[in-house]
Amino acid sequence: MTDFPSPERLLAALPLAQRAEAARRYAEHGPLLYRRLAGLYGGRADFARWYDDLLAAIGALMAERSAGLRELDACRAANPGWFLGQAMLGYSAYASRFGGDLAGVGRRIEHLRALGVTYLHLLPFLRARAGENDGGFAVASFDDVEPGLGTMDDLETLCVQLRAAGISLCGDFILNHVADDHPWAQGALAGDARLRDFFHVFPDRAMPDRYERTLGQVFPEASPGNFTHVPALGWVWTTFYPFQWDLNYANPDVLAEIAAALLRLANRGVEVFRLDSTAFLWKREGTPCMNQPEAHAILQALRAIVGIAAPAVLLKAEAIVPTRDLPAYLGEPGVPECHLAYHSTLMAAGWAALAEQDTSLLRAVVERTPSLPAGASWLTYVRCHDDIGWKILADEAAGDVARLAGIANFFHGAGDSFAAGVPFQSGAAVTVQATNGMAAALAGFETAAGPLAREAALRRLLLVHGVALAFGGMPMLYMGDELGMGNDHGYRADPQRAHDTRWVQRPDFDDEAAARRDDRDTWSGRVFGALRALVEQRSACAALAADVPRTVLPMDDPALLALARGDSFLALFNFSARTVKVPPGTWPRYPDAIELEPWGMRWLTR
């Protein structure tokens, strides 16, 4: 007896030889899929038919999956923890900036291998809106590559090349909104009522004003408010830039279209999807319209769909939210959601510890990070293409906004700060500015006057990376940070980008610095060599696999973080400019006191 529909339409779409496996996967993932979709859309008169049509669409896309990818599915299904090992290492880059185009990215594989990379996240490479497009985050087509970057065939070729080198390709999948020149938006503009219902459209300001009472603002300076007046339609929900129209997931057709678009890309060979802005997927009046239960239901449904149609695929949640809201994106035992989620507060707290020479926020984040259900893991990182928003640490800082503002100011160069960060979206009403800048610039390399100051900047750079590498999860390096590349102010001359300071951390890959990566007499060589050594140490240490438990050992000195993994690894971090002593007996193998130089780090194993 089942309390959910049979997979008849799914199976009917498949060749006979694939039906038994599909039926098995449906038995595993179908119940949750059905429950979540019935919860979202079950009240609609046509729900049963819509659900069957969805199964048929999934089956048709499964039938199109290549033999090679089906083999990968079987392989990964037999080893679902394949991405939890201590040798997994991510790298994130804009294809245009890293390699010029997709083919050029293929020519960078040697560099990625030299660093130990096993996972490459390419920022949006699908055809973007003409003109301003938020760095590709305004997608005009889910089925075409941005012309300047290549074609879908080039994407397939790159996936194959990467896989042969042991690297999984992660693509951005922007599912909260589409560009205003996407065919769905264009259809709505042309009067197609079905497509108008793909968006949140209001005839006047009545509802938008009610929603605005509890909504935040992502780009308060460049794009104030959350609604945009579009003459042919009315007020359209636009959480981000006015040209990024939020999708209406209360409409089941939106979910079906998005799921199909995701599976089509998976069939091209994309192995991991970075699900952009997942917190915003569901709107509810009287709330900030973030982290709503329905947003999780949507993600769980997508997870079940890939579990059925493409089990090799991983989903990665991008939700830049407080620590307490993060674990939900990784599901709970028996209710899988995303496989990976950005640990955004850990990232911010590492930098905060450098600013304050005090690890209290960082310790609090680690302590508030629960252990995860099997098969789920954190994505740990130091920098990415976006700003660092300090306000996500408000809980850990017990609401002390002045403290967070102090951290922001520090990174913008206040007082005797070593940092050369750039504020983001710093309108008058903003209490805590967010920060942009390459890791090396935030760590003090740009202000370093001589070799000693440079050495200190290097230690600080390694300290924050050390946390990401030792924490437990999949660490991801950001393009250029492995070579200590600095800020790029070139965007200021481009009217389409000048207002968005995030471009300061989106430079072109520095070929000359890369050529010097093995020369320890150069800054880039020092950084690359030191990071590479840490990566090697990590991959040799089984206690650093993602699923080994972590503990923070109590330390009297606030500058210290002592992070144990299992009972065979301890990392010590000194976030201050002082030499500090770790008391004797902290670690059984090392009975004596341990001295840590300014911004020093020690990894102990036994």
The residues near 515 (Cβ < 8 Å, ≥ 6 apart) are none
> 563 by DSSP, 3-state: which?
strand
Q: Which residue is catalytic, options 101, 318, 337, 557?
A: 318
Q: Residue 75, Cβ neighbours under 10 Å: how many?
A: 12
Report the distance separating Cα 68 and Cα 337, nearest Å. Answer: 26
What is the nearest approach in angstroms of ligand OTU to the Cβ of residue 274? 8
What is the nearest approach in angstroms of ligand OTU to the Cβ of residue 474? 18
- Contact range with ligand OTU by CB under 6 A, out of 318-326, 406-414, 485-493, 540-548: 318-326
Report the distance separating Cα 463 and Cα 600, nearest Å. Answer: 7
Of the residues 11, 122, 128, 174, which one makes contact with ligand OTU according to CB under 6 A:
174
What is the nearest approach in angstroms of ligand OTU to the Cβ of residue 241? 8
* 158 lies in the binding site for ligand OTU (CB under 6 A): no
* 180 lies in the binding site for ligand OTU (CB under 6 A): no
What is the nearest approach in angstroms of ligand OTU to the Cβ of residue 326? 11
Tokens, residue 588:
């059984």
What is the nearest approach in angstroms of ligand OTU to the Cβ of residue 278? 7
**586 close to 562: Cβ distance less than 8 angstroms:** yes
Of 257 and 547, nearer to ligand OTU (C-beta) is 257
Report the distance separating Cα 533 and Cα 198, nearest Å. Answer: 49
* 279 lies in the binding site for ligand OTU (CB under 6 A): yes
140: which DSSP letter? S
- Contact range with ligand OTU by CB under 6 A, out of 272-280, 411-419, 455-463, 545-553: 272-280
**179 close to 139: Cβ distance less than 8 angstroms:** yes
DSSP codes joined into one string, 193-214: HHHHTTB-EESSSHHHHHHHTT
145: which DSSP letter? B
How many chain residues are in contact with ligand OTU, going by CB under 6 A?
16
Report the distance separating Cα 242 and Cα 280, nearest Å. Answer: 16
Of the residues 218, 261, 430, 453, which one makes contact with ligand OTU according to CB under 6 A:
218
What is the nearest approach in angstroms of ligand OTU to the Cβ of residue 507? 16
Of the residues 146, 154, 246, 276, which one makes contact with ligand OTU according to CB under 6 A:
276
* 315 lies in the binding site for ligand OTU (CB under 6 A): no
What is the nearest approach in angstroms of ligand OTU to the Cβ of residue 575? 24
HEC-encoded secondary structure of 431-477? CCCEEECCHHHHHCCCCCCCHHHHHHHHHHHHHHHHHHHHCCCEEEE
* 142 lies in the binding site for ligand OTU (CB under 6 A): no
* 318 lies in the binding site for ligand OTU (CB under 6 A): yes
Of 126 and 458, nearer to ligand OTU (C-beta) is 126
Report the distance separating Cα 23 and Cα 28, nearest Å. Answer: 9
Mask for 226-255, x = binds ligand OTU (CB under 6 A): --------------x---------------
Report the distance separating Cα 480 and Cα 506, nearest Å. Answer: 9
Residues pairing with 477 in the sheet: 91
* 134 lies in the binding site for ligand OTU (CB under 6 A): yes
DSSP codes joined into one string, 478-533: ETTGGGT-----GGGG-TTTTT-GGGGG-PPP-HHHHHTTT-TTSHHHHHHHHHHH
Site for ligand OTU in 368-397 (CB under 6 A): 385-387, 389
- Contact range with ligand OTU by CB under 6 A, out of 57-65, 130-138, 456-464, 524-532: 130-138
Of 162 and 320, nearer to ligand OTU (C-beta) is 320
* 170 lies in the binding site for ligand OTU (CB under 6 A): no
**309 close to 320: Cβ distance less than 8 angstroms:** no
Site for ligand OTU in 471-530 (CB under 6 A): none
Report the distance separating Cα 590 and Cα 569, nearest Å. Answer: 12
* 442 lies in the binding site for ligand OTU (CB under 6 A): no
Amino acid at 372: L
Enumerate helices (H) and strands (E) in the chain, giving the number of each: 20, 21
Work out the burial of residue 494: count CB atoms within 10 Å of its CB; fewer than 13 is exposed, 13-18 middle, 19 or more buried. exposed
Question: Is residue 386 among the annotated active site residues?
Answer: no
**388 close to 484: Cβ distance less than 8 angstroms:** no
- Contact range with ligand OTU by CB under 6 A, out of 19-27, 162-170, 275-283, 523-531: 275-283
Give me the residue label for tokens 């900047």.
Answer: 457
Q: Which residue is catalytic, options 271, 276, 337, 482?
A: 276
* 94 lies in the binding site for ligand OTU (CB under 6 A): no
Of the residues 226, 228, 277, 505, which one makes contact with ligand OTU according to CB under 6 A:
277
What is the nearest approach in angstroms of ligand OTU to the Cβ of residue 356? 22
Question: Is residue 446 among the annotated active site residues?
Answer: no
What is the nearest approach in angstroms of ligand OTU to the Cβ of residue 424? 7
Of 320 and 543, nearer to ligand OTU (C-beta) is 320
The strand pair at 177-179 and 234-237 is best described as unpaired
> Active-site residue numbers?
276, 318
Q: Which residues bind ligand OTU (CB under 6 A)?
A: 134-135, 137, 174, 218, 240, 276-277, 279, 318-320, 385-387, 389
